[in-house]
Structures are given as structure tokens and as C-alpha cells.
A and B are shown apart, each in its own frame.
Chain A
């Protein structure tokens, strides 16, 4: 067990390092002068030279990479050009929005997908099953940003129940929650389409096994067998997909925040691209990639908790 944890943790750290190398390489080694990118073609040579000095671009690449990683580990991502404040401050300011959106999206996804998936499996081959399968097939093909636009047209423009976008801050919690409803639903509906399918097929596998028949034969109700015996045993493939989906959700927030004009990290990344704010883009891309890698690492660890047999093998 200790060896398993050690190997997985080592792999996780190495992957993070490799990811940081890729991000740094793409943003710094590729042809082009970052100072020129930031200032534009018509900048004076003095200004470019000064910015090169400020960004530390005259240092060797290896030194720059090491100091970037070292500072980042201590929470220092450098200075944002467009906002004139430390990037870490910008991140701290906007992280709550992105995290709330991702976590709320994940919760709604889980409730919808597990419910629909188990229902479909219980109704295997009948109308309920076909309905869920059809909806999920459709859900996979619908882009989240189009679904968002449709939701806004229905609930904000036509019915006027919810705001079409924007965010007034957390001071008024009720208003804040109202602005998050449509983005959360748009994120979750698409994700739960995938997860409902996996839940269904995984539950169907388990339902074929002898202990399920035994549980039914011993007089337990269908509902109890489904939720207490089938679902827990169907969890391993579901958790795998949930891990991948959390990563998809987090990057999905980038899209959704831009559709609904929400002040999170995803919106910040696009403002930074428009402002040619390379240090901010670099920090945010690294942060998002790190979240993806971390989600996969957590899933690896969860396997062992869910399926003790894997512990023995590990």
C-alpha cells in the first residue's frame, strides 16, 4: 500500500513537472519575442529592452524556467501586465467563481447521471431505457455553449425568470445563486449525458451477477437492491469517468464563463489573451492543466478506497 502511494505520488509530481515544461516551452521557446508580443509591432526599442529586462528575458532559458517553477510553488506567478497586480492576486480573486461553478456542475451532474443511469438500467430494454439513451446520445452532441444560449433565450429573454448573464458579486447571495443557475445547468446537462451512459452499462454488468439475484430472492426490494447493492459495485468505471469529467468540467467553465460573462478564471484567461498578458496566460494554463492532472491522481487513489481488492494487488 505504501509502495503504491509512493509510486502514484511520484508519477503525479513528475507529470506536473512535465506539464510545466510543456507550458513553459510553448509560451517561451517558440519563435517570437514575448516582449514584442506584449507591446506590439510599433513599440520603441527602448520599451522592448526595458520590458525584456523586467520579464527577465535576458536570462538563460533554464534559469527562467527554474525560477518560474520555484516562484510558482511559493504562490508567486509574477506580475500581470494588463492589470498591474500580481497574477496570484487575480487568481485568488476569481478562483471562487470557477470552483463554485465546477463543484456545483459536478454535483448536479452526479445527481442527474446516477439517477438516470440507474433508472435506465432498471428499465433495461423498455421505454425508460430508450428515452435515457436517446437523451444522452443527443446530450453528447450538443455543444455546451449552444445549450447555454438556448437556456438564456428561454429563461432570461422569453420567460424573464433568470438573468441572462453577468455577476453582481457575493454580497447578495440570492442574486448570486440566481446568476449561477443557468451556467451550472448548461455545464451539467452535457456532462451528465456521458456519465449516465457509463452508469447504465456499469449497472447492467453488475445486475447480471449472482449476488444481485440472491439479494432479490432473499426478499429485498428492487429499489434497495439497486441503490445498496448494484450502485456501489458499479462505481469503479463510474469514478474513472467522473475524474475525467471533473477535468472536462473545469475546462468547460472556461467556455461557460465566457458565455455568461462570469468573472472567473476562464474569463480572465480570455481577457489576458486579448491584452497579450503572457505571464497571466502562462500561469492560468498551468493552473488548469494542474487541476486536470490532480483530478486524475485523486481518481487513482479513490479506486483503492472503492475497491479494496485493488489494495491487495497494489
Chain B
């Protein structure tokens, strides 16, 4: 058995840590993340509050754990939603070719003109800021990314002999897409999804930091940082932990995605 690449192992470790903490927060946090106690505000780390408390006396560890859960949920929904629409469009483009393919790819180009932030800004201006709008904005930017990756990979599979055989046997384009194309491009799609998961975590944090994502009292690493920024002189430590959490989560999914790509597509290892 070949040794697994280091980036995959480190990525898997960090991802397990973050996902594990997020899952644990469903059943247990050291304190209620929202429970305020003004008398113990800005408490230093202790056995009672491992990383101390914030300006409202809320336990920092409990908030970080709840924020991990929220961050993972947002990234999961956004990547699943944007990814499935994108993969569907990519498969459609590849299966039908011609003007449908052209139309889908031009639409994808158009999608690239709107970074998630701009889309979230439009939605916030019309509907008011909310986590749902942030999720929609992040999903939206995932559609063209997945549509492109899917189409590029699917076009290669369509040239294979076994696909030609399936067509000769009279199978339709959609059946072939489902039974032959999709399973064979799954690796590429999963690699992309892992990387986009990291991007989504960063985007959620940025949107929440700017007030366009998670609204109070929901816990979010980005929002914790925007609150901590105003308290920089009083309690600088509060601006450290949420940032570290974001870095660990993004680094983890990024490394895991790179590692998965190295494993599933060994030709790329040398070139990179």
C-alpha cells in the first residue's frame, strides 16, 4: 500500500478536529454559548472558563464550538446546493453539447463576474442581511465553478469506448450521464467540493464579520471577530481565538482537498 500524502493526513486530522468539535457542540458545550453573566465579563482563562469570557460574560469556548457548528452547516448547505445545481448543469452541457453547452458555459462566465460578497450585498440591500442570504450568495458562486469542472471532466469521459458502447447499445444521453459519466467524474467533483468547502467557510466568516451573515445572537467566528475588534484595547485575546479557528478549518479542508487530488489524480503531483 502506497503511503498517503502528508497534506491529506494533516488535512484529515484538522478536518476531523473541527467537524468533531462541531458535532460535539450538538450535544455538549461547557456552558450555554448564549448565557450572559455581566459579573464575570472579560474573565481570564480558568478551569471554569477555559479561554475566559467575553464582554457579556459568555463562555468563549462554548461560543467557538457553536460557531464551528454554524460554520460547517453553512458551508455544507452552500456547497451541496451550489454543487448539485452546478454538476447538473455541467452534465447537461456535456451530454447535449451544441448551443446548450454554449449557453451553460456563457452563464457560468457570467457567474464569475459576481464574487459572493457582491451577491450577498445585493441580497442584503433588497431583503435585509441574514444568514439565509449569505448561504444563497455562497451557493450561487459555487454553481459556475462546479458546472465548469463537471463539464470539463465529463467531456473526457464521453470520448471513452465504454460510453460509445453504451450509446451503440441504444442507451439515452441522460441514462449514460447518470450511470457512466457521473460515477467516473465523482472523484474530481469531490475534490472540488472539499476545496470549495474551505472557500465557503472563509466567505461565511467574512460575510458575518461585515454583518451580512449570521445575526445576533447566533454564534459565528466572523461575528465574534467584529465584536472583538471594538474591544481590541480591553481584551485583545478575544480577537485571536475565532481567527485561529477559521485558519484551522480552512487550512484543514484546503489540505484535504489537495491531498485527495494527489491521490485521485497522480499525474498532477509532478506538475504542481
Contact = CB atoms under 8 A, between A and B. Distances in A.
Given A137-B255, A285-B122, A292-B115, A145 B209 contact: yes
B99 to A, nearest CB: 15
B254 A140 contact: yes
Contacts of A35: none
Interface in A12-66: 15, 18-19, 22-23, 26-27, 30, 32, 37
B187 interface: no
Given A153-B236, A157-B232, A259-B229, A289 B113 contact: yes
Contacts of B182: none
A152 B228 CA distance: 12
Contacts of A296: 112
Contacts of A141: 198, 202, 246-247, 250-251, 254
Contacts of B119: 26
A194 B29 CA distance: 36
A258 B122 contact: no
Nearest to B7: A137
Contacts of B239: 146, 149-150, 153
Q: Is the interface of B mostly helix, strand, loop or mixed?
A: helix
Given A153-B239, A205-B271, A145 B232 contact: no
Given A146-B246, A149-B225, A255-B206, A138 B122 contact: no
Interface residues of A, number: 48
A19 B225 contact: no
B251 A138 contact: yes
Interface stretch (B60-68, B125-133, B163-171): B125-133
B225 A137 contact: no
Nearest to A278: B125
B30 to A, nearest CB: 24
Contacts of B229: 149, 259
B117 A255 contact: yes
A288 interface: yes
Nearest to B123: A26
B243 A149 contact: yes
B202 A137 contact: no
A12 to B, nearest CB: 11
B188 interface: no
Given A137-B255, A143-B205, A276-B125, A270 B118 contact: no
Contact of B113 (A37, A143, A150, A293): A293
A37 B126 contact: yes
Contact of A146 (B117, B124, B243, B271): B243
A152 B119 CA distance: 29
A278 B127 CA distance: 11
A23 B122 contact: yes
B263 interface: no
Contacts of B126: 26-27, 30, 32, 37, 278
Contacts of A157: 232-233, 236
B152 interface: no
A168 interface: no
Nearest to A25: B122
Of B119, B209, B242, B250, which is in contact with the most chain A CB atoms at under 10 Å from its CB? Answer: B209
A79 interface: no
Complex A-B, nearest 3 residue pairs according to Cβ-Cβ distance, in ascending order: A146-B243, A141-B250, A141-B251
22 contacts: A19-B113, A26-B122, A26-B123, A27-B122, A27-B125, A32-B126, A32-B127, A143-B243, A143-B246, A143-B250, A145-B210, A145-B222, A149-B239, A150-B239, A153-B236, A258-B210, A278-B125, A278-B126, A281-B125, A285-B118, A292-B113, A296-B112
